[in-house]
Structure 1
Amino acid sequence: MIELTHLNKQFGDKIAVQDMNMRLNPGEVMGLIGQNGAGKTTTFRMILDFIEPTSGTVTWDGHAITATDKQRIGFLPEERGLYQKLTIEEQVMYFAELHGMKRSDAKSALVDWMKRLDVVGKPSDKVQKLSKGNAQKVQLIATVIFEPDFLILDEPFTGLDPVNTELMMQEIMRLKHEGAMIIFSSHNMSGVEKLSDQLTMLRHGETVLHGDTNAIRESFGRTEIYLESPVTDAELREIAGVKSITPQGPGRHLQLTDAAVGREVFQLVAQDGYVPVFAQQPPTLDEIFRREVQGGQA
């Protein structure tokens, strides 16, 4: 178990992280989100002991993280750092051996990982010849090839197209199911929602939301409706509590002042006995993120 207890970091007069508390168990994924400069990378650097906290503790199974523990941590930094003149194999072998993996085992695992992530190229290809997306996948392989017990991923999906993002998500989920503890930051809110068991949202270093991802969404109430219906906007606006109506694909997105208003909306659109699409749900993480970044204002 990884635990952060009353963790604080201050640089001069600036508070980068304030009183952070977090617990991560084997087989759990924590999404760490917030606007740029919110304190996500600073948190990662304190966990990895790259910088010391001003106060508070980071522990693994009740003790401070040791050099031996660090051998079991995989870290993908936001600033990518592959050695351009090395081959893929040389690059990955270097990191694998740093974490105590046998070279023969790493070579075999590399071939398997390249297939699973659909890396275009051969292990003997130079890193400098890789596209940005393939280079990013190779860096992920270097991060996870030794099957870490604890994985830290800082913006792992940046620059990836939807297909490659999905491939990477699948591998993160596989590591989770194998018992890895995973914490990652991302501005891809749909990815955070899909992967995370728990969520921590930071604003200017302060934790503004923390807990089970689904429970956080539900706490905002089912105040969003996606609707496909011939009922007009004017008819919908006559219902007190319909805050806004926005076109969305073939339908419309309604924002309500209260979840109970959804019953009235449904009665209106179902008056002829058939509704092509009616889905009432909590705000998405993307919508919650926007609200909280603006200081909690809708």
Structure 2
Amino acid sequence: MFDFILNKPVELKVGDQMLKFSTLADFEFCMSGRTAIPSSKITDLVKFSTDQLKKEARTIKDIEKRFVSILSKSIEDPASINRALRELDPLIFSQDHSWRDIIAGLNNGDDAFNPYRRIALVKYMQYLSSRQEIIKYLYNEKKQNYKAGTETYSGASEPSEFKETLLLDNTVFEPGAQDFSKENSFERMPKGEAVTVVLTPNEEIDILLSKHKCKLAAQNGVQFIDQAGRVYKLNKGRNLIGRDSVSNVMIEPNLRDVSRLHLVIENFGDNSMQLTDLSSHGTYISSKYLTSRTGGQTSKS
């Protein structure tokens, strides 16, 4: 499905169409247009019961965990993404926006297409996040309608469906310009995409894991300071931040809105680093680091 010659465009057959990409940036731009939810999918979700919405949310959550593991490993070992994608059941991918055909096409390429695979997986995860947001909204609307008495359900057990769960809670803290000065306003990092941060000696910046305020500091190397003030010196290379026991910086297990593998920090050893958010509830940094994004990466302006 792919024709690849050095300095020649990349061609990908999707169904009856042949898509041609002159650069990796062209491919990323095309995939970015496939992260929204088709109106037909939204119409279907509106008809779901609360039980069905919860089941859909859990399915997406399980799929995201597998993708997070693949992306995390690919940061340290870029070639691993080829093997990992081939091992997945193609049916795990939605047919919306021809995602299943795109992944199938990528699986017919060699390791030269690993950068394309990574972009496709990142954008597909953003598509899943969009689906999850719609599900959260619909679930909470049904919950509010039930409380207001404007919606009824069949079955005596229906009210128990509204037991609060973090998975479907849309009240998780979303910092914005209204919470901070304009200069220090926070924005959510794009999921799965690398954001470059360069610190000056002795500089500290705030970073939020979901709603928990932490810091990055350039003091005798790069340090991560968690929400409780504990200081961790980051290794050169890949550092995992999250609740999982394999993390280099292990966040308190009771902070359930912090993902097991929440953030990857690739420390280059010269006070520069790349941050990649892999979480469900987001990583937030100053908006000034997100103003000059190109090619899936972000540089400090």
The normalised TM-score by structure 1 is 0.25
The normalised TM-score by structure 2 is 0.25
Quick check: which one's strand share is greater?
Answer: 1
Q: Which protein shows a greater Rg?
A: 1
Between 1 and 2, higher relative CO (CA 8 Å, sep ≥ 6) is seen in 1
